[in-house]
Structure 1
Amino acid sequence: MRIALHSEIRDGAIDDYRSHHARIPDALAATFARIGIRDWTIWRSGHRLFHLVECEDWDAALAALADDPADHAWQAEIGPFVELFRDADGAEGFVPLEEVWDLRGQVDG
C-alpha cells in the first residue's frame, strides 16, 4: 500500500530538520524493513513536509512502532523540529491524507 502524510516544520528549524534527516539511524531503517515499510520519501515546500510511504500495512506498521526503541529514539531526536502532522482536512492528526487521483490506478484499472 502507499499512503501520504503531511507535517510541518517548526519556525526556524528547516536547516536542523534537513541536517538531522539527511540519514535516519540504521536501527530505524532495520525496524522499517522488519515491519514492512519499504520506502519513505519526504518533500518540502516552505515549512510543509509531504511524506509518501510504501508499506505492507500502515496500521500494522504504526502498531509495531508504538513500542519500538529505535523509533522512540528517532522521535526524540527529530521531534523538536516538527511542529505537527495534519490530516486530510487540515486538522492536527497523524493519519494518511485522502488520495484523490492516481494515474497508475487509472491506466491499470
Structure 2
Amino acid sequence: MSRLALHSRLIAGTEQSYEREHARVWPELITVMRAAGIDDWSIWRSGRDLFHLVECDDYEAAVARLADDPVDQRWQQHMSRFVEGFAQNADGGRTLRHVWTMSEQLG
C-alpha cells in the first residue's frame, strides 16, 4: 500500500458547510471507494486549503474506476458546491511531491 497527498481549495465562505458534509460521508461512497482500492482517506483544512492523505495500492486505477461509478459521480457533483478543485502540479499531476517521512528515515 502507498500513501499520497493531494491539495484542493474551498470556495470562499463554504468552509463550515464543507466540514458539516464531512461529519458523516455517505456510507455508500465509502463502500465504492473501498471497492475501487482506496484503503483510507483523511482530510485536513487550513483556511480554504484542504490537504488529503490517501492510502491505496494504485491511486490512478482507483480514480479511473470511480469515474464511472454513479455514487461517486453524485458525490462529486454534490461537493462541487464547496470545492474549487484539486491543485495541479507543474507536471500536470494532482499528487503533491513527497519530501520526507520520519518513519522512512528511521528505517
Please, what TM-score do these two structures have when normalized by structure 2? 0.91
Question: Residues of 1 paired with 2:85 and 2:94: CA distance?
Answer: 12
Q: Counterpart amino acid of 2:10?
A: I
Aligned residue for 1:11, secondary structure, equals: coil
Query: Runs of at least 4 residues of structure 1 off by over 6 A?
Result: none
Residue by residue, what CA displacement relative to the aligned partner does 1:51-92 show, whole Å, maximum 9, x if unpaired? 000011101101101101110010111111001211345x9x
Question: Residues of 1 paired with 2:80 and 2:32: CA distance?
Answer: 18
- Give the aligned partner of residue 53 of structure 2: 52
Aligned residue for 2:97, secondary structure, equals: coil
- Give the aligned partner of residue 73 of structure 1: 74
Aligned residue for 1:106, secondary structure, equals: helix
- Give the aligned partner of residue 82 of structure 1: 83
- Give the aligned partner of residue 63 of structure 2: 62
Question: Residues of 1 paired with 2:104 and 2:59: CA distance?
Answer: 19
- Give the aligned partner of residue 10 of structure 1: 11
* 1:8 shift after superposition: 0.5
Unaligned regions of 5+ residues in structure 1, if any? none
Q: Tell me how large the CA RMSD over aligned residues is.
A: 1.6
- Give the aligned partner of residue 104 of structure 1: 103
Question: Residues of 2 paired with 1:94 and 1:51: CA distance?
Answer: 15
- Give the aligned partner of residue 42 of structure 2: 41
* Cα 1:9–1:94 shift into 2, 3 Å: farther
Question: Residues of 1 paired with 2:67 and 2:15: CA distance?
Answer: 26
Aligned residue for 1:63, secondary structure, equals: helix
Q: Counterpart amino acid of 1:100?
A: V
The number of aligned residues is 106
Fraction of identical pairs, as percent: 45
